[in-house]
Structures are given as C-alpha cells and as structure tokens.
A and B are shown apart, each in its own frame.
Chain A
Amino acid sequence: MTTVIDRTRTPEPEGSGPVSAAARARKKADPGGGLYKARTPIYPKLVHGRWRNIKWALLILTLGIYYITPWIRWDRPGHLPDQAVLVDFTGRRFYFFFIQLWPQEVYFLTGLLVMAALALFLVTALFGRLWCGYACPQTVWTDLYIYVERLFEGDRNARMKLDASPMSFNKAWRKIGKHAVWLGIAFGTGGAWIFYFHDAPTLIRTFWVGKAEMTAYVSCAVLTGTTYVFAGWMREQVCTYMCPWPRIQGAMLDFNSLQVTYRKDRGEPRGPHKKNEPWTGRGDCIDCNACVVACPMGIDIRDGSQLECINCGLCIDACDEIMQRVDRPRADRL
C-alpha cells in the first residue's frame, strides 16, 4: 500500500488534526530566527524487536570483520608477507588472500568502487536505504556509542534527567566514564585501521614502544578523532549535513521502493485510546510517540518520507511493542 502525500491540498489549520511537521518546525525554531541552529540533542530510547536484533547482529558481524581481518594469516611463497589482507605501500603491493595487486592494476580498485556505487544504487532502488540503516560505518559506530552511553547514563529518560541536573559526583563519573570508553573504542578503531597497512603482529609491538612509522601514529590519531567526534558528538548531523547520499536518495525512490514509512491509512485519525474503548472510526495510532523517541535521527516518521530517515526500522519495533500491548496487529501481521 502506497501513501501519496498530497501537496496540492491546503494544510489543515493547526490544532484541528495531527500536528503537522510545519507546525512542529515552527515551534522548535528559535523565536528570534537566526542563520544558525545548534544541534538539538537526541535521546533515542532502546527498543526490542526484530529490526533491533538484526541491527545488533550486523553490528557484531561488521565490527568483527573490521577488527579481525588484519589478523588473518595467509601463507605466501618466499619473503612475501603472510598477512591475508595487506596494503603494503612501501612494497607497492596490495595483498588480498590469493590476490596480489600491483600499482598499475589500480583499475581493479576503480572497477570495484564503480561496482560498489552501482550496487548501492540498485539495493537502494529496490530495498530503500538498507546501507544507511544497517551497514554504514557511521550507523554501526553510532549504535555502538549509544549502547555505551546507555551503560553509563541509562536510557532516554534517565539521560534527559541527568543532562538537566546540575553537576554532581554522580553526573561527573558517568560522563567521564562514557567519554573514556568512547575514546577507547575510537582508539581501537584507529588502531585496527593501521593494521591493514603493516604486518599486524609486528606493528602492535613497535607501535607501543614508539618505533612504528609516523604515518601509523598520524592515521591512528586522525581516525581516533573522527570516530570519537562522528559517533559520539555529531551522529545524525553527519548523515543529514555531511553525507551526500540522503540528497541523492530522493532521485532513487519510486512508488515501488521499499521504505520505512508510517501508514496513514492505518494510523489516521490518530489519538489517545483508553482501554475497552472501541477501535471503530479511528486509526490504530494512539499517538504515544514511541516511534519518535526511538528514532536515532530525531524525526517523526509519521510526517512522511524525510531525508534524515536512515530506514533503520527501529520505529517499527517501537510501534509493534505498543500495538501488541493495546491488542492491535503488529506491522508484519497485516
């Protein structure tokens, strides 16, 4: 079922129906206007369900691939390195298991990138922004960082309360602990990166005694910095403002694209629902905002297709949980 947003229709006056995005935007906007907007903090609430589980599984899988790959050994004849995946800049070779590439074969890399881009377009045209929601490093590391954040500061409500509270010992150690672990993960990320460019078992020793190459330290520092800033501080800002993909995305979608959306035909008219009230003459949406608070991008999926949406499906999990509780069907049981 496809919902067509009718933009020719005049919007309903405020207060009469569901709150429109325009109204919320106006409400959120700085009263004095202004050219710049500070980031509105987002406190995504933990949800449980199918999509969350797939995301956890992919997080473990993708991070596992990233961290373990440099440690895989691969026997090669003579004095060739025995690291399965190695970008050897000094020796000017790229080793990938049974493949060995020379500098003049860089067109393989070009070809790979072209194919990756086309595969991204194809997958997006068919299944929507699967890449954004599940496989993009920005999403995966942000997910991991939010997980750490919950360990120290608790879930949404506890975090909001903590941020609003004045500085105290309790607040200080939670914040310091969170940032320390974040930095640790960031350092691990930068540290794993450089293993792709040198023999990992050798580098892990030379790195700590200060005998590794300067490029190793600089790369590690840069990636530690970007990981910490992007996954800890910027998060959805990277997707919304820095990544070109959401902007291209608009051209990739058609009526048959698979997309995470709010089904107006099912949900509207929305409104609070009391127990034992009949469901006739109204939509299934009880306006509980579970989908909004679960969203890591800080949007309301009920406003329709938006460039911020990474199609992660966490709002579906949030909604399913509520629908089960009020005895309405889950999204996949319709």
Chain B
Amino acid sequence: MSPRETDDVSGVETTGHEWDGIRELDNPLPRWWLWTFYACIVVAIVYWVLMPAWPGLHGYTHGTLKMSDRAQVVRDLDALKTQRSAEGAQLRNASLEQIEADPKLQAYALAVGQSIFGDNCATCHGTGGTGGKGYPNLRDDVWLWGGTPEDIQHTITVGVRSDHPDARFSQMPAFGKDQLLPAEQINDLTEYVVALSHRPANAGAVGRAAPIFQANCAICHGPEGKGDPTKGAPNLTDKDWLYGADRADIHGQIWNGRGGVMPSWQKRFDPETIKALAVYIHANAAGQ
C-alpha cells in the first residue's frame, strides 16, 4: 500500500495500490455502471425465485417455474412419439412390400431410415453406406445374408454373431492359426481362391489345392465357391471382398478366419423403426 496521492498528469487521486511502480487512478465509476450493477442483482434474485439455483444437502431449489432440461427432453420425446404415432401405426401394420408400394409411406420410411442410419449404422457402414474393409458395403448387390427387404429387416433385428439367440451366425475356421491345415496348403488354397475370381494364378498350386478346397471349404462356400446366403458364406467368384482382394488379404483370411459382429437392434428400436431402416437400406442398394 502506497499513500494515496494526487496524480500530476490527470489530477486524480490514486487508490493507494501499487504494482511494480504502477499506480491505479481512483476515477469515479460511471453512474450507469452502478445502475447496471443493481439491475444485475435484481435479475439474479428473480432468477433464484424462478429457476433452479441453490444447491442443498438433498438436491437443489427447483424454482417456481420448475424448469428442468432433463424433464423437457422427456416431454419433447413424448411429443415426438405422439406426432409420429399415425405414421408409426401405418408402418407397423404394413408389410415391407406395402410400404415400398405406397409413395407417401415410403417417403416417411425413407426419412426415418435415413436419420436412424446416420446416427447408428454410419459409424461402421459409412454415411453413404459404402462400408469399408471388414464392414459390408450396403449399396451394392452383394449380400452375405440376403438382400431382400425381409432379409435386411431380419439381419437388423437379430444382428450377426451378436448376443441375440437367433443371431445370424457363420464361422470361417482359422485354418492357419488353429493349425487345421499346414502352411503350404494354405498358400495353395490362396492361389485357388485367386483363380476362382478369374484372376491369373499359379496353375500348379491351383491343381494341388482343388481337393483341399472341396474337402474343407466347399461345405459352406459351395463346390464352385459361389457361396450361400443362407449360411452367410461369401461368394468367392465375384469381385467383392469383405476383407480385401489381394493375395495377402485372402491368405490372412484363410489363416485367421475373421468374422465381424453386427449388434442386434431389436432392443434399441421398435419394429416400425427397423422396418423403416430396412426400406431405406433396400431402396439405396443395387439389385435384389
């Protein structure tokens, strides 16, 4: 504290505070500032009365308006459900074919489906539904578990390798990791699978692998390697590869037998939402 003194330049008294030789002038506050200050106090008191404000030992003061964002969200969601109930009932009662045949209902289903897809499915399948390595592309005409609206609806409901009792389930054995086949046979099989998709491959290896394929792989993928949607076995003769198309990817898949998990959405969505989602995905996919 330095003594209060009058500043020579401005003619104003100092406050007596000093920081590293800098002293503060004790200028009067503008009076409107004082009124603003009083107004803020009044507003604060009004706020305490109307709104939740003070914490206590057992909760807090709720205010006379009983404002609560949490309760508001519940009310908003209820209002939304009521607002959608008419269309929701229509969705629930209509079959997937009926929905797709009725332009108005279809438009509603597409809108619901798009928003649900963006929030829940896009994380893995991408915002455009084009998937990625390990995540199926939903825009093409290749479907591991069938691409009809009913198949899609069922897949969404039960999931793939999920905890649902009726989940879609398939298991590619890990031929290398679990030592089901010797390494050189897996190398030969790799060449065989490459040849299946009409690409140039080592003829000797392909010849050696043919009986191995028939003995180990054909049971799911079929004798010609065309796959089976009822078992979730991918077609090996097309150009679509969930875990990659080159030799290293194919070899890795035979060796490790990867299989992804898609959750069952039955508990999270009501049936009409799943229907809408199936319609949306089906409408945006090619074929089937």
* A interface residues with partner B (beta carbon < 8 Å): 7, 10-11, 20-26, 29-30, 34-39, 234, 237, 241
Contacts and interface: CB of A to CB of B under 8 A. Distances in A.
B11 A37 contact: no
B32 interface: yes
A7 B31 contact: no
B10 A35 contact: no
A36 B8 contact: no
A25 B7 CA distance: 11
Contact of A35 (B6, B12, B28): B28
B11 A26 contact: yes
Contact of B29 (A11, A24, A35): A35
Contacts of A7: 8-9
User: Which A-B residue pairs are the 10 nearest by beta carbons?
Assistant: A22-B11, A37-B28, A25-B11, A36-B31, A38-B31, A26-B11, A36-B34, A36-B29, A11-B8, A241-B30
B10 A21 contact: yes
B9 A234 contact: no
B11 A20 contact: yes
B19 to A, nearest CB: 16
Contacts of B60: none
A286 B154 CA distance: 96
B195 to A, nearest CB: 46
Nearest to B26: A35
29 contacts: A7-B9, A10-B8, A11-B9, A20-B11, A21-B9, A21-B10, A21-B11, A22-B7, A22-B9, A22-B11, A22-B12, A24-B11, A25-B10, A25-B11, A25-B12, A30-B28, A35-B28, A35-B29, A36-B28, A36-B31, A36-B33, A37-B28, A37-B29, A38-B30, A38-B31, A39-B30, A39-B32, A237-B30, A237-B32
A7 B7 CA distance: 11
A37 B30 CA distance: 5
Contacts of B31: 36-39
Given A22-B11, A37-B28, 18 more contacts: A21-B10, A21-B11, A22-B6, A22-B8, A22-B9, A22-B10, A23-B11, A24-B11, A25-B11, A26-B11, A36-B31, A36-B33, A36-B34, A37-B29, A39-B31, A234-B32, A241-B30, A241-B33
A22 B6 CA distance: 10
Contacts of A237: 30, 32
A234 B33 CA distance: 11
Interface in B13-63: 28-34
A30 B29 CA distance: 13
A7 B23 CA distance: 15
A34 B28 contact: yes
Contacts of B30: 36-39, 237, 241
Nearest to B35: A36
